[in-house]
Chain A
Amino acid sequence: MKIAVIGVGALGPDFADWPALRALLKGTTVHQPARTSLPPPTMLPPAEQRRVGPAIKLALAVGGEALAGSGLDATTLATVFAASGGDAENCDALCRALAASAPQLSPTRFHNSVQNAAAGYWGIAQRATAPAMSTGAHDASFAVGLLEAATQIVAGQRPVLLVSSDTDYPEPLRATRPIPDALGVALLLAPPFPAAPATLRIEVRAGVADGLAQPSLESLRAAIPAGRALPLLQRMALGGAGVVHIEYLPALVLRVEVDGAA
């Protein structure tokens, strides 16, 4: 399957946007230990801004960055949201409330607990009535999202915004799912066209996923499901042609031929 990359968004520890991550991946800046800083979700109406947690802020931020300047109409743009889970903090809060002797649940926390909350809020923010998919597969969630987006693009001949993002649990769930911090990437993807900044040719293969040479970036790749995108993003940061292998299900990879820069 061949698709084009039009835009990229990124947010994570020590990078506030795609230009910052691109510089880290090219080695022009050095990755420093830092906590991810999530911007306020200004694309939402004020009342909704107060209701959303980290997972939604993260997804909206990277999705917005990938879309910005593309000239595409967000109202008719299909979306794929890939994540290992829902909003991690919200999940912990609900489980604590349910463990009380007389459980009282916040209605907002409940409806924010659905794993398509980010997709729902994106729709509200952008008046986006096109289909929105929310999918994943634990650590393989980025690859699942990329494959889902690619099949939508090839089968439907329409652009798709892919958002892959994960947030970290507080304890006690953190000990059982040790995602260290929030990290999100977004790719604005489309059917291939001659002037596309980059094109990807994607296949499912048996194989072993590529890592990153820089240890601190490799640790993000290995520890955060959305971080599995980093080898692909590094290839696009460097530009030119090359092949990367993205972690998919056990014993499988997505073999991606990359041509171009983003």
Chain B
Amino acid sequence: MTPLLFRASTAVSGLGTGLQVTLQGLRDNRSGLRPNEFGALPFVCHTGTVDEVQLVQLPAALQSFDCRNNRLALLALQQDGFIEAVQASVARWGAARVGVFLGTSTAGIHETELAYRQLDPQTGALPARFSYAGAHNAWSLTNFARSLLRLQGPASVVCTACSSSAKVFGVAQRMMETGLIDAAVVGGVDSLCFTTLYGFHALQLVSAQPCRPFDVARDGISIGEAAAFVLLERVPASVDADAVLLAGVGESSDAYHMSSPHPQGHGAIAAMRAALEAAALEPDQVDYLNLHGTGTRANDSTEAVAVATLFGDRVPCSSTKGATGHTLGAAGALEAVISALALRHGLIPGSPHTAAVEPQLAAQYQRSARTAELACVLSNSFGFGGANCTLALQRAN
């Protein structure tokens, strides 16, 4: 594929608000996971919570979009000069030529969960303040961002569970390639809610401790919330040497099971191969691999098999979910932004909480952050339903 430029990016997660804090957190191998305080749950877990979201207020004209998910989206959009960068893009291309494609798994469903606890005792109706289109429906996320940013181009929401906001990079790339748009806001937002906390607990996939990706004693995920956005444009004639490019997007399906990955990692291998092929890269050219690495027994085992099959033990890799938690539909975009920070600042992120590494990845797994010259990074995202996506990012120089 023709590479695209990361013109601007931003991220908010339990690790921090904005790129600078996120980068420092990665350098310090800090974890944003804390004992959960959300929703008085009847089980113990850790979560990556964004406390500031409580203080965010949506603009008066966009109140119908009010929910934790859209507040989190707004908090991220307000960081790192992102809104200004989008405005500059609109000035360059026109509002109808800037697309917006965002991923989420649960959008504002927490509003619905709360509303179901307040049904009218006589009629069974939802409370009057409930907004289906503004909060519950997945499109509420993209519609909110598109309205806030005053964009008038093509737009959609992608819901492929935990690969949602990786796949949006592919949507934008195809829209650019077919000439429908000149720039795209891509990203993902997922916020804490009962559906995912109780749901993953029902699947016995939530750890009581902070998650330990690729640790031999790992026993599940820690759920996090995050919002991350990237403004993609075509690569201009001259760019800074440390500019980051989207070089390839690779997608595949497991065709195996709704909530368990293919044991030999066939889908993961196919996604990584497709990303390398799209970027015209050989496996040996990859300098760092940001793993999906959720911390479940099954995910990390199969991803380790897939990585060993494709890269042997040559490529340094880590999962950053020990720092952020598993941010589900936001993970693809959050980890794309983390991968871009790694490229730009010459940093291989570590894996807080991971102690004894799974033998298959012991040689190359990075428990602690370190500096390194990076030219090419892959980022993996795998979702329920076997929806896999790998992004290949490169430095411009």
Cross-interface CB contact of B138 among A104, A115, A117, A133, cutoff 8 Å: A115
- Chain B positions within 8 Å of A98 at CB level: 113, 116, 194-195, 198
A175 within 8 A of B: yes
A193 within 8 A of B: no
- Chain A positions within 8 Å of B29 at CB level: none
Separation of A115 and B383 alpha carbons in the complex (Å) = 11
Check A123–B143 contact: CB distance below 8 A: no
Instruction: Spot the interface stretch: A9-17, A20-28, A105-113.
Output: A105-113
B351 within 8 A of A: no
A240 within 8 A of B: no
A96 within 8 A of B: yes
- Chain A positions within 8 Å of B296 at CB level: none
A18 within 8 A of B: no
Of all chain A residues, the one with the shortest Cβ separation from B194 is: A98
- Chain A positions within 8 Å of B155 at CB level: 137, 144, 249
- Chain A positions within 8 Å of B201 at CB level: 105
B376 within 8 A of A: no
Instruction: Spot the interface stretch: A150-158, A208-216, A226-234.
Output: A150-158
Separation of A204 and B179 alpha carbons in the complex (Å) = 11
A165 within 8 A of B: no
Separation of A66 and B175 alpha carbons in the complex (Å) = 25
Interface residues of A in 136-164 (CB under 8 A from B): 136-138, 140, 144, 147-148, 150-152, 154-156
Separation of A85 and B136 alpha carbons in the complex (Å) = 9
- Chain A positions within 8 Å of B158 at CB level: 133-135
Cross-interface CB contact of B124 among A1, A134, A172, A252, cutoff 8 Å: A172
Check A119–B385 contact: CB distance below 8 A: yes
Check A110–B160 contact: CB distance below 8 A: no
Check A148–B386 contact: CB distance below 8 A: no
Known: A112-B258, A126-B255. A148 touches B387 (CB 8 A): no
B112 within 8 A of A: yes
Of all chain B residues, the one with the shortest Cβ separation from A125 is: B255
- Chain B positions within 8 Å of A177 at CB level: 132-133, 136-137
Check B126–A127 contact: CB distance below 8 A: no
Q: How many residues of A contact B (CB 8 A)?
A: 62
Separation of A32 and B314 alpha carbons in the complex (Å) = 65
Cross-interface CB contact of B116 among A96, A105, A252, cutoff 8 Å: A96
Check B178–A124 contact: CB distance below 8 A: no
Of all chain A residues, the one with the shortest Cβ separation from B260 is: A111
- Chain A positions within 8 Å of B258 at CB level: 111-112, 117, 120-121, 124
Min Cβ gap A239→B in Å is: 28
Check B386–A123 contact: CB distance below 8 A: yes
Known: A111-B384, A120-B385. A204 touches B137 (CB 8 A): no
Check B199–A117 contact: CB distance below 8 A: no
Check A138–B112 contact: CB distance below 8 A: no
- Chain B positions within 8 Å of A148 at CB level: 156, 171, 174
Cross-interface CB contact of A115 among B112, B159, B167, B173, cutoff 8 Å: B159
- B135-158 Cβ-contact flags toward A at 8 Å (1 or 0): 011110011000000001011111
Check B198–A138 contact: CB distance below 8 A: no
Of all chain B residues, the one with the shortest Cβ separation from A78 is: B251
Check A172–B195 contact: CB distance below 8 A: no
- B239-270 Cβ-contact flags toward A at 8 Å (1 or 0): 00000000000011111111100000011001
Check A128–B138 contact: CB distance below 8 A: no
Separation of A102 and B256 alpha carbons in the complex (Å) = 33
B161 within 8 A of A: yes
A116 within 8 A of B: yes
Cross-interface CB contact of B154 among A99, A204, A251, cutoff 8 Å: A204
- Chain B positions within 8 Å of A103 at CB level: 194, 198
- Chain B positions within 8 Å of A167 at CB level: none
Separation of A131 and B270 alpha carbons in the complex (Å) = 10
Of all chain A residues, the one with the shortest Cβ separation from B1 is: A155
- Chain A positions within 8 Å of B121 at CB level: none
Check B133–A138 contact: CB distance below 8 A: yes
Known: A105-B198, A120-B385, A154-B178. A129 touches B156 (CB 8 A): no
- Chain A positions within 8 Å of B133 at CB level: 138, 177
Cross-interface CB contact of B159 among A114, A173, A251, cutoff 8 Å: A114
Separation of A183 and B161 alpha carbons in the complex (Å) = 23
- Chain A positions within 8 Å of B61 at CB level: none
Of all chain A residues, the one with the shortest Cβ separation from B118 is: A99
- Chain B positions within 8 Å of A96 at CB level: 116
- Chain B positions within 8 Å of A151 at CB level: 171, 174-175, 177-178, 180
Apart from A103-B194, A116-B383, what 10 extra A-B contacts exist at CB < 8 Å? A95-B113, A103-B198, A107-B259, A120-B387, A128-B253, A131-B170, A136-B159, A150-B178, A173-B136, A176-B130
Some 6 contacts from A to B, beta carbons below 8 A apart, are A94-B195, A99-B116, A133-B171, A136-B156, A172-B119, A249-B154
